[in-house]
Amino acid sequence: MVDPSPPANTPPIDAVSEKARLRAHYRKARRDQVEALPQALRALVLNRPPAPVAALFTDDAPIGLYHPVGAEAPTLGWARWLIEQGHTIALPWFAARDDAMHFRRWSNPFDEDELAPGPWKFPQPSAEAEEQVPGTVIVPLVAFTADGHRLGQGAGHYDRWLARHPQTRTIGLAWDCQLADTLPWEGHDRMLDMIVTPTRIYEGQS
Ligand SMILES: Nc1nc2c(c(=O)[nH]1)N(C=O)[C@@H](CNc1ccc(C(=O)N[C@@H](CCC(=O)O)C(=O)O)cc1)CN2
Ligand SMILES: Nc1ncnc2c1ncn2[C@@H]1O[C@H](COP(=O)(O)OP(=O)(O)OP(=O)(O)O)[C@@H](O)[C@H]1O
């Protein structure tokens, strides 16, 4: 996908409005890509971590995932594989919209009934699920660059959580069409250590 450049005669735009413009572009690219993907292939792509990534999960540290919505890269295959390997996995959890993001345990990714929509409508574990502090977080994204920059949904939830947990390993999961040549950068943006797509593994420069 070619980067959408603004027309030459537009004045310079700041990082925030440029991010908003790029979000609209890459969300559409993501939707178009998923709609074009034959149903039979959907269950096969990103169905488990590729071997070099699986080899990183050597300790007992919990792994944070996300529950995909819409055309986000799927994570259910990873979740089920990680559970079968004996790992503890967790999902973002919010007490209320104006509260910080936490992670709580996702005990059984084979049971869709375990999760219920949270304040942001994303399926999340119950308030009784044990709180977890993941050593690795699998991060959703709208766009990424080959060296590890990330454009998220714009709420800053991951950036703020990662600022509080700077030692966390971060792995972005994405479709190939979400690769951008460059992305605007703000001081709080945290680079990803790695991005996995159906065809490639990108090693970030963080
Ligand atoms: N699958 C998934 N789970 C995730 C995220 C994600 O990007 N994907 N998050 C990534 O951070 C966190 C949730 N963050 C959010 C990011 C954006 C919006 C959002 O787009 N809000 C709309 C309004 C929604 C409404 O009013 O219902 C908006 O701000 O315009 C909500 C939550 C945690 N869980
Ligand atoms: N470490 C931080 N501390 C305080 N505010 C932050 C921090 N990181 C991000 N923010 C705020 O969050 C808002 C959204 O940031 P940004 O546009 O970078 O989100 P994003 O990374 O795309 O989204 P997300 O992490 O939710 O997927 C901004 O207003 C930003 O100032």
Q: Encode pLDDT of 49-94 as tens digits.
A: 999 999 999 999 999 999 999 999 999 999 999 999 999 999 999 9
Atom 8, ligand 1: residue with shortest CA distance? 140
| Angle formed at CA 198 by CA 17 and CA 142, multiple of 5 degrees | 15
The span from the CA of 53 to the CA of 37, in Å, is: 24
Tell which residue, 103, 111, 109, 110, has the closest CA to residue 129. 103
Could you tell me if the ipTM is greater than 0.95? no
Q: What is the pLDDT of residues 140-168, one digit of tens each?
A: 999 999 999 999 999 999 999 999 999 99
Kindly report the average pLDDT of the chain as a whole number: 93
Q: Does ligand 1 come within 6 angstroms of the Cβ of 152?
A: yes
Residues near 134 by Cβ (< 8 Å), separated by ≥ 6? 61, 62, 63, 64, 90, 103, 168
CA 66 – ligand 2 centroid, Å: 17
| 8 assigned ligand-binding residue | no
CA 71 – ligand 1 centroid, Å: 13
CA 151 – ligand 2 centroid, Å: 10
Atom 20, ligand 1: residue with shortest CA distance? 153
* Six-digit token string for 78: 């990873």
The span from the CA of 206 to the CA of 186, in Å, is: 15
Atom 4, ligand 1: residue with shortest CA distance? 66
pTM: 0.92
Kindly identify the ligand whose nearest atom is closest to the C-alpha of 68. Answer: 1
| 96 assigned ligand-binding residue | no
CA 100 – ligand 2 centroid, Å: 12
Can you tell me which atom of ligand 1 is nearest the CA of 156?
A: 11
Burial 63-74 (b: 16+ CB within 10 A, else e): bbbbbbeebbbb
Q: Give all strands (DSSP E) within 71-197, no chain letters.
A: 89-93, 102-105, 116-117, 123-124, 131-132, 136-139, 143-144, 150-151, 169-173, 194-196
SS3 71: coil
- Choose one of 23, 101, 103, 157 to mutate for the ligand 1 pocket test, by most ligand atoms within 8 angstroms of C-beta: 157
Better-predicted residue by pLDDT, 11 or 14: 14
